[in-house]
Amino acid sequence: MRTYYFTDILIKNRYPQGISSLTMAEKINVLQQIQEIYGITPSEIQSVSVLSQNIKQILTTHPHFTSVLVLGEVTNFNKASSGHIYFDLKDEKSEIACTLFMSMQKNVDFDLDNGLQVLVKGEIATYEPRSRYQINIMQILPVGEGLSILKFKQLKEKLAKEGLFDESRKKRIPILPRKIGIMTSKNSAAFKDIVNVVDSRFPKMDIVIAPVIVQGKNASEDVIRGLNLLSKIDEVDTIILARGGGSAEELMVFNDEALVRAISASKKPLITGIGHEKDTTLADLVADLRASTPSTAAKAAVYDVKKLKDELTSLERHLERSYKTYLASRKVYKKDVEIKEKNREIAKYKVITIILISLIILISFIIIAWVSP
Amino acid sequence: MNDEKFMDGKLKIRNIILKLDEGRVTPDEAKRLFEQGMSTIEECDSILNCYKGKREEIS
């Protein structure tokens, strides 16, 4: 094995081929020179390899390094062709190299990427030939906002692949639902907005309210419960799921997988009016119609009854006009036929008259001829 | 379902109007179509008037 000493530089000029090629006698000579020139005892000097080995020995046996838990952000992410993943874990001041070997990746159920906050569990290891240290990861977990964003992204992709957001799955929103089902917090501004819009457009529209919790730990289950209740009422033809604006955290309930699947499985058309224009949840994506606010959801669910009545009045007038026009055209036709028939009669009588006159004249001539001598 | 009845009704009335405008029907047929159209309008109107403004709550 080749051995390099840090005294290389010192003796490079005298032994340009490097000291590794020196004989034992020459090496001893070099060490003696170092001792003479610098007063350093040869036993204090260690090779790079020995130092590297010593570092490794400490790092791989010291309890501070054999099992570490480190929190940081992924940067310089790289998946090698070998399948191993390399990245640096950083915080505000420092970075440390990390390796996630392929054999350890089977328990990672999310996509690692730059910018993600993670908690890693592993051991400090060194790569002896380069004397560099790194964390060999045994477990890695996403955390914080990064976790929420990642979960949202991954669930969205998963459900999209299953076709839950496909346009072809969306049900038509009826123009005239027999009843409207509303799922929201009962005393919320969202509920008041919906009722106001319904009252202004279709005051006699029948409404079934399923008050649900729209925020917090059990909200998703509660909304699913509300959806099931409304689904059982045959006359409810359209369902509105609404809540007013809130933080991303507050709207997280509408990204719950079970809720999204329940909406997808619902046989009744569902309109969402969640948060504000900028907020798009998975519930919005799976809904048959996404309205930007609770008020617009109500507008989409209920037509203006006055307009529908006006439409009927207009159709009635049109029908009457069409029938009158038909009858009028029939009368004109009838008159034409009568005139033609009269003319035909007159012509017939004319012919008969001419024939009769001709006959009379002819008979007169015959009588005159017979009587005269 | 109200929605289907209402939409079908409107379509039916439009078709009747079209037939009358074309004028290719006998007077008896035209009369029958007109009466059918008026009755459909009444049906549609009654659909709009069947709502009661009920507010139920389920839990």
Q: Is A275 left (phi over 0), alpha (psi -120 to 50) or beta?
A: left
Output the pLDDT for position A23: 80
Output the pLDDT for position A122: 95
Q: Do residues A266 and A227 make contact, with C-beta atoms less than 8 angstroms apart?
A: yes
Under an 8 A CB cutoff, do A206 and B44 touch? no
Can you tell me the distance from the alpha carbon of B15 to that of B22, in angstroms, rounded to the nearest whole number? 11
Q: Do residues A77 and A97 make contact, with C-beta atoms less than 8 angstroms apart?
A: no
Report the chain B residue with the minimal C-alpha distance to residue A203: B53
Under an 8 A CB cutoff, do B55 and A327 touch? no
Output the pLDDT for position A20: 64
Question: Tens digit of pLDDT for each residue in B12-57?
Answer: 999 999 999 998 899 899 999 999 999 999 999 999 999 999 999 9
Report the chain A residue with the minimal C-alpha distance to residue B5: A176
Return the exposure string of A45-66: e unless at least 16 CB atoms fall within 10 Å of the residue's CB, then b: eeeebeebeeebeebeeeeebe
Under an 8 A CB cutoff, do A319 and B16 touch? yes
Question: Tens digit of pLDDT for each residue in A206-219?
Answer: 999 999 999 888 99
Which of B48, B50, B54 to probe the A interface (max A CBs under 10 A)? B48
Under an 8 A CB cutoff, do A326 and B13 touch? no
Can you tell me the distance from the alpha carbon of B41 to that of B25, in angstroms, rounded to the nearest whole number? 21
Output the pLDDT for position A307: 95
Which of B12, B34, B50 to probe the A interface (max A CBs under 10 A)? B34
Question: Tens digit of pLDDT for each residue in A242-290?
Answer: 998 888 778 889 999 999 999 999 999 999 999 877 778 999 999 999 9
As for the ipTM of the complex, it is 0.94
- A288 vs A258, A264, A265, A267, CA distance in Å? 17, 9, 11, 11
A270-274/A289-291 β-pairing: parallel
Q: Do residues B41 and A320 make contact, with C-beta atoms less than 8 angstroms apart?
A: no
Could you read off the pLDDT tens digit of each residue along chain A, which spans 373 residues? 334 444 444 444 455 555 566 788 887 888 888 888 888 888 888 888 888 888 888 888 888 899 999 999 999 999 999 999 999 999 889 999 999 999 999 888 777 888 888 999 999 998 888 888 999 999 999 887 767 777 888 899 999 999 999 999 999 999 999 999 999 998 899 999 999 999 999 999 999 999 999 988 899 999 999 999 999 999 999 999 999 888 877 888 999 999 999 999 999 999 999 987 777 899 999 999 999 999 999 999 999 999 999 999 999 999 999 999 998 887 777 777 788 888 888 999 999 999 999 999 999 999 988 887 6
Output the pLDDT for position A10: 46
Both tokens assigned to A171 = 């049900």
Residue by residue, DSSP assigns A329-357 as HHHHHHHHHHHHHHHHHHHHHHHHHHHHH
Question: Tens digit of pLDDT for each residue in A297-322?
Answer: 999 999 999 999 999 999 999 999 99
User: What number of residues does chain A have?
Assistant: 373
For chain B, report the end-to-end CA distance as a whole number of angstroms.
25
Output the pLDDT for position A1: 37
**Burial (CB count within 10 angstroms: exposed 0-12, middle 13-18, buried 19+), residue A363:** exposed
The 3-state DSSP composition of chain A as helix, strand, coil percent (nearest 5) reads: 50, 20, 30
Under an 8 A CB cutoff, do B30 and A315 touch? no
Can you tell me the distance from the alpha carbon of B25 to that of B30, in angstroms, rounded to the nearest whole number? 6
Output the pLDDT for position A4: 41
CA atoms within 13 A on the CB side of A5: 21
Question: With an 8 Å Cβ cutoff, is A64 touching chain B?
Answer: no
